[in-house]
Amino acid sequence: MIYKCSDNDKEKIFSYIGENYKNCLYAYADLKQYSLKETFVNAWLYINHENTVKALIFNYHNGAHVFAIDLNFDVVEVSVLLKTLKLTMINARKEIIEILEPYFDTYKYDFGHIMEQNRTDLVRVDGIEVAEESDFHDMAEMLCSDYGIGAGYTIEEMESQLIERYTDKYGRNYILRKDGHIVAQASTGAEVSEFAMVVYVIVSEKYRRKGYATRVMESLCYDLRVEGKKTYLVCYEESARLMYEKLGFKVCSDWGKLYYVVGN
């Protein structure tokens, strides 16, 4: 049975997640940040015939996260719910995406890793700025030009989410400019007292292989560490993984996503 949650069910959800929040970082953070009374946030629990919670389905805007400690839930029932939400992206541990994928034949999939930052000797690099709202349209255009990042978004949707996180003090955006233009950026897509999730690490094609991504990332990770927050990110590309490892990130979970490309 799938049960739709209200705000009163949050403690039940957190109790189910327990110490496993590394496997549902966004869902955990969003549930702490937002009320389930918001129109863009929804949560469901899959409960078996013994009245035991076996899965969490969390929806934020046009994306969803599926969390389950094991795979003992009805994948058909969960897939039917996910399809009704008309999602552009579904995220979960790799093994969950693998069992969902056959039910989403119009979606593409990717596998990667959750990585946690552990280095303590990072520094704040000169020339790195904290972006203002006036920068967000240019940032969104840059992000949507990259297939791996922007495939599930329009420019307007991406800009709207940057603005929302900035306004809610739920995310920050670091940029590097060259020749008057933003050429590198990195952001946090969710921040709570315990941790932050780094997202949208990108460098303009003309300026790649100059170490700019490392400079922006080091400054962002340094500030988060000073504030006492653990830092995580999702990595899908081997080349990016090597850069993140130099910054002290280590794999802590295998990850995956199903995504629908806008325009299909």
Percent of the chain with pLDDT over 90: 88
In a domain, 98, yes or no: yes
pLDDT tens for 158-207 read 999 899 999 999 999 999 999 899 999 999 999 999 999 999 999 999 99
Last residue of a domain, one of 88, 109, 130: 109
Distance CA(113)–CA(198), nearest Å, equals 13
Q: For residues 239 and 161, state if they share a domain.
A: yes
**Residue whose C-alpha is closest to residue 48's, from 25, 69, 20:** 69
pLDDT tens for 228-244 read 999 999 999 888 899 99
Would the pLDDT of 263 be above 70?
no
Q: For residues 96 and 181, state if they share a domain.
A: no
In a domain, 261, yes or no: no
Q: What is the pLDDT of residue 169?
A: 92
Residue 126's pLDDT band, with cuts at 50, 70 and 90, is: very high
Q: What is the pLDDT of residue 223?
A: 96
Percent of the chain with pLDDT over 70: 98
Q: What is the pLDDT of residue 262?
A: 61
Q: For residues 164 and 204, state if they share a domain.
A: yes
DSSP 199: E
Q: What is the pLDDT of residue 149?
A: 80
In a domain, 62, yes or no: yes
Distance CA(115)–CA(113), nearest Å, equals 6
Q: What is the pLDDT of residue 145?
A: 87
pLDDT tens for 196-237 read 999 999 999 999 999 999 999 999 999 999 999 999 999 998
Q: For residues 125 and 71, state if they share a domain.
A: no
In a domain, 263, yes or no: no
Q: What is the pLDDT of residue 264?
A: 55
Q: For residues 124 and 104, state if they share a domain.
A: no
pLDDT tens for 89-104 read 999 999 999 999 999 9
Q: Give how many domains the chain has, as a whole number.
A: 2
Q: For residues 76 and 123, state if they share a domain.
A: no
- Phi-psi region at 13: left, alpha or beta (left = phi > 0; alpha = psi -120 to 50): alpha
pLDDT tens for 134-156 read 999 999 999 998 877 876 688 99
Helix 25-33 vs helix 10-17: crossing angle, to nearest 10:
150
Last residue of a domain, one of 85, 109, 133: 109
Q: What is the pLDDT of residue 239?
A: 84
Q: For residues 83 and 136, state if they share a domain.
A: no
CATH of the domain at 144: 3.40.630.30
Strand partners, 114: 234, 253
Here the tokens at position 35 are 């009320």
> What range does the domain containing 173 cover?
117-256
In a domain, 218, yes or no: yes
Last residue of a domain, one of 55, 74, 109: 109
Q: For residues 170 and 80, state if they share a domain.
A: no
